Amino acid sequence: MNNLTRRWCLHRHETMKPTNKRSIIVLVICGACTLAALGLWEGGFVPLQQMEFFAQDWQTRLGRKTPVDDRLVLIGIDKPVYSSDFSDEELQREPVLKDLQNNFPWSRAVWARLIEKLSDAGAKVIVFDLVFASQNDGDDELHQALEKYKDRVVIGYNINVGKTERGEIRELLLPNSTVLTPTGTNSAVEDDRLGYVNLWPDFDDTLRRVSYRQTGAQVGELVPDETVLESLDARALRKFGRSDLIPPGFDARLFRYTAPANQAYKPEPVGEVLSPKLWEKNYGNGKFFKDKIVLIGPTAEIFHDTHNTPFTDPKPMGGPEIHLQIINAALHGEFPRERSTVASLFIIAISGVVAVALCFLVRQPGIRFLSVVGLSAGYAVFAQLLFDHAGQVIPLAVPLMALAVSSFIVLAYDFVLERLERMKLRNTMSLYFSPAVCEAVLANPGSMEPRRADVTLLLTDLRNSTPLAEALGPQGMFELLNRVFEAQTNAIMGEEGNLEHFLGDQFLSYWGAPQAQPDAADRASRAAIKLITAMEKLRPTFTPQVQKLFNYGVALHSGGVLVGNKGSAQRLDYGLVGDTVNEAARIEALTKYYGARLLVSSITFAQFTAKPGHRFVDRVIVKGKSEPVELFECENPCIPANYPELCRRYEAAYAEYSAGRFAEAQTQFDKLVQEFSDGPSKALSARCAELLAHPPAAWKGVWKMDAK
């Protein structure tokens, strides 16, 4: 590494040392972010709560589920009408099947018969996720069944909450008196055959928590304050003989789901349960239901009894299935415990302390970023393990947000600080290096070491410099040069090329160093077209005299060169050295000889990913070389109209020339000059005349150039 690069590295190392100012700013940033997270969390900031809910939902999806209890069965109202599902024999053996052939709601004799059938089969609890609020056919039969099997049947009621202009309205939607005569002392809801069916989601309309009981005070003046209202699920557990599993208290609590919708408890169609034939075939004459909790409810989508859950994607879950999953959670005691507000705030504060420690202890930005990612992933795994195996729920999204935001803001601050130092350094280095090389050195000082590189060169030269200078004078000439160089620089930089130098009226640029560019030839080709386009746009802005003198050529050539610093202790330049540069200069000089705007060597042409419209121009040995070079002209803004026709006829003429039939070739070249004013054809016609005058001894189709 040269001395200048060593000095640059030492300077960069010094600028990255810790300072008291940085320490204070790091503490301020991390402290502000942590305090903001604490305040917003304590204040119930909705977006933060939504983030935490989102994290909890993923824990539910990825984590352990409550095992499926096979003592729970779901009978689903899977369609609103059974139009032609039963045979005449079945209808005769089970008359209530005729009621299923009517539109829902069916006669309540259906439910009375279902209660009787399940009870006779030994079902321990029969739960209806239905509210029989209105009067209907079959109420007497259902009333009798509820009285007869009151120790094993639970039906639902609803706590309705509505909003009007005058405020919130609450009411109890109880079963009709024709269905049930309540036995409660203070209120009908005390009847142990009644349980509320309500499922109250969080504010984002996702159901994560369940309330097994409410007080009269909580439901709001619907019943006496001291009255206890139990949910459908709590009543079912009580009649199942497991009232000890009903969680104590009146607060809603998290419960662990069993599975996504329709995966844990697939509904048994009510029509199949009532069908005598299927009762025997599928349910063993009822043995399937013995000693089980059987829940009956609407499962068809038409009933719209669905709720969003952590598994809502791809679809929400039916209310009856949710009730079964809630009962299942109680049977297994699966109620993850959430941390208190104080504990949650403490965890968030700790995340801020960790951010401060990272910012002080890990100075490398990349390693610090990876450390933040690694710690975040580790904490997420730890939180998941607590959720799965210890039934503990700790804040996840908010602590990680506090850690990430604090760390990334400090990273941004360090980045800006370093950029400012680099800008200062760049201003100094720009005295020695071009902008492209300066960026390469700043990113990788080792790239300044001399080495060999494969590059593609673009060389252009402004013609008639002396007449132009005489016509324009010093001021005008430099204005023209600056405009030309500006157009050329924009074209090169637009394709991420590097500028070697401006030498008088000559302009050299390259691709492939300091960093390799696999598409160097394609970039150079596009830059050449942009350059020619920009130069031609300049032409109309000149005076007629200058327009007549304004001319230039562009050449593309590829090969190996040496790249590195060259110069003296007072002046350094990152540049190219090698015969490829000299050969590119010879090719550019030939653009004047052929009267062509753009010439491309065969080496470069072979590297094009997609070959543009082109023609093979000539095969020559340039001055100072012993091997021939093949030259191509590619489509550019200066080609004549009907270029494909010109290329086709030029190819035919050149074939005659290569074969040594110079007279025939000259005739064809002359026609192309007359029709297209074609420069290469004019040059080849003159050469054919010379070859006719002085026939070569052994013609191989290669012309040796005597001049540069």
Three-state SS across 241-297? CCHHHCCCCCCCEECCCCCCCCCCCCCEEHHHHHCHHHHHHCCHHHHHHCCCEEEEE
Q: Is the pLDDT confidence value at 556 over 50?
A: yes
H or E element in which residue 32 lies: helix 20-42
pLDDT band at 436 (very low <50, low <70, confident <90, very high): low
Q: Is the pLDDT confidence value at 548 over 70?
A: yes
Q: At what angle do helices 397-429 and 435-443 cross, to 10 degrees?
A: 130
345 close to 41: Cβ distance less than 8 angstroms:
yes
What is the pLDDT, as a whole number, of residue 38? Answer: 87
Between residues 433 and 228, which one has the greater pLDDT? 228
pLDDT tens track for 339-379: 888 998 899 899 989 988 888 888 888 898 898 899 999 99
Q: How far apart are CA 627 and CA 630, in angstroms?
A: 10
pLDDT tens track for 145-162: 999 999 999 999 999 887
pLDDT tens track for 154-204: 999 999 887 777 777 888 899 999 999 887 667 888 899 999 999 999 999
Provide the Cα torsion 217, 219, 223, 229; round to 10°: -100
What is the pLDDT, as a whole number, of residue 505? Answer: 73
What is the pLDDT, as a whole number, of residue 643? Answer: 94
User: In angstroms, what CA-CA distances link 632 with 518, 556, 557, 612?
Assistant: 21, 10, 11, 11
The full set of domain ranges for the chain reads: 3-61+338-429, 68-332, 450-637, 640-696
Q: How far apart are CA 561 and CA 290, in angstroms?
A: 89
557 close to 632: Cβ distance less than 8 angstroms:
no
pLDDT tens track for 634-693: 999 999 989 999 999 999 999 999 999 999 999 999 999 999 999 999 999 999 999 999
Is the Cα torsion angle 224, 225, 227, 228 positive or negative in sign? Answer: positive
Average pLDDT, the chain: 88
650 close to 618: Cβ distance less than 8 angstroms:
no
Between residues 500 and 329, which one has the greater pLDDT? 329
What is the pLDDT, as a whole number, of residue 129? Answer: 95
Q: How far apart are CA 403 and CA 371, in angstroms?
A: 11
The distance of Cα 116 from the centroid of its chain, to the nearest Å, equals 57
Q: How far apart are CA 292 and CA 239, in angstroms?
A: 11
| CA-based nearest residue to 22, from 414, 508, 472 | 414
pLDDT band at 5 (very low <50, low <70, confident <90, very high): very low
473 close to 543: Cβ distance less than 8 angstroms:
no
The distance of Cα 510 from the centroid of its chain, to the nearest Å, equals 36
pLDDT tens track for 493-530: 889 888 877 766 788 999 998 888 899 999 999 999 99
Structure tokens of 442?
A: 């700043």
SS3 348: helix
What is the pLDDT, as a whole number, of residue 313? Answer: 67
126 close to 294: Cβ distance less than 8 angstroms:
yes
Average pLDDT over residues 276-286: 93
Q: Is 466 exposed, middle or buried (0-12, 13-18, 19+ CB in 10 A)?
A: exposed
pLDDT tens track for 605-618: 999 999 999 999 99
User: In angstroms, what CA-CA distances link 77 with 71, 87, 174, 278, 507?
Assistant: 20, 20, 21, 16, 84
Kindly report the number of other CB atoms within 10 A of residue 386's CB atom. Answer: 19
Q: Which amino acid is at 267?
A: P
Structure tokens of 69?
A: 């209890």
What is the pLDDT, as a whole number, of residue 447? Answer: 61
Average pLDDT over residues 134-138: 93
Q: How far apart are CA 307 and CA 329, in angstroms?
A: 18
Between residues 555 and 438, which one has the greater pLDDT? 555
pLDDT tens track for 371-429: 889 999 999 999 999 999 999 999 998 998 888 898 888 888 888 887 777 777 666 45
What is the pLDDT, as a whole number, of residue 441? Answer: 61
| CA-based nearest residue to 278, from 407, 93, 145 | 93
Question: What CATH homologous superfamily does 450-637 map to?
Answer: Nucleotide cyclase, GGDEF domain (3.30.70.1230)
Is the Cα torsion angle 187, 193, 197, 200 positive or negative in sign? Answer: positive
pLDDT band at 18 (very low <50, low <70, confident <90, very high): very low
Q: Is the pLDDT confidence value at 448 over 90?
A: no
Structure tokens of 2?
A: 């040269």
Q: Is the pLDDT confidence value at 338 over 70?
A: yes
Between residues 45 and 111, which one has the greater pLDDT? 111
Is the Cα torsion angle 576, 577, 580, 584 positive or negative in sign? Answer: positive
Q: How far apart are CA 685 and CA 662, in angstroms?
A: 9
Q: For the chain, what percent of residues have pLDDT higher than 70?
A: 92
| CA-based nearest residue to 351, from 125, 36, 564, 592 | 36
- Supply the Cα-derived Rg of the chain in whole angstroms: 44
Phi and psi for 563 in degrees, rounded to 5? -125, 145
H or E element in which residue 643 lies: helix 643-658
H or E element in which residue 393 lies: strand 392-393
149 close to 119: Cβ distance less than 8 angstroms:
yes
HSE at residue 309, side-chain half, CA atoms within 13 A, is 28
What is the pLDDT, as a whole number, of residue 111? Answer: 96
Average pLDDT over residues 313-335: 92
| CA-based nearest residue to 531, from 504, 557, 495 | 495
What is the pLDDT, as a whole number, of residue 9? Answer: 40
> What are 63's strand-pairing partners?
none
- Alpha-helical runs (H) found in 43-157: 46-62, 88-93, 97-100, 109-120, 139-148
* Ramachandran sector of residue 122 (left: φ over 0; alpha: ψ -120 to 50; beta: rest): left
> What are 580's strand-pairing partners?
none
| CA-based nearest residue to 55, from 403, 382, 396, 372 | 396
**DSSP tally for the chain: helices H, then strands E:** 24, 24
Phi and psi for 74 in degrees, rounded to 5? -115, 120
Distance, first Cα to last Cα, the chain: 38
Q: How far apart are CA 701 and CA 32, in angstroms?
A: 79
Q: How far apart are CA 129 and CA 296, in angstroms?
A: 6
- β-strands 629-634, 451-462 pairing: unpaired
Q: Is the pLDDT confidence value at 13 over 70?
A: no
What is the pLDDT, as a whole number, of residue 571? Answer: 67
| CA-based nearest residue to 330, from 251, 196, 237, 264 | 237
Maximum average pLDDT range among 428-432, 595-599, 625-629: 595-599
DSSP 507-523: EEEEESSSS--TTHHHH
The distance of Cα 292 from the centroid of its chain, to the nearest Å, equals 48
500 close to 508: Cβ distance less than 8 angstroms:
yes
Is the Cα torsion angle 451, 454, 456, 459 positive or negative in sign? Answer: positive
For the chain, the residue count is: 708
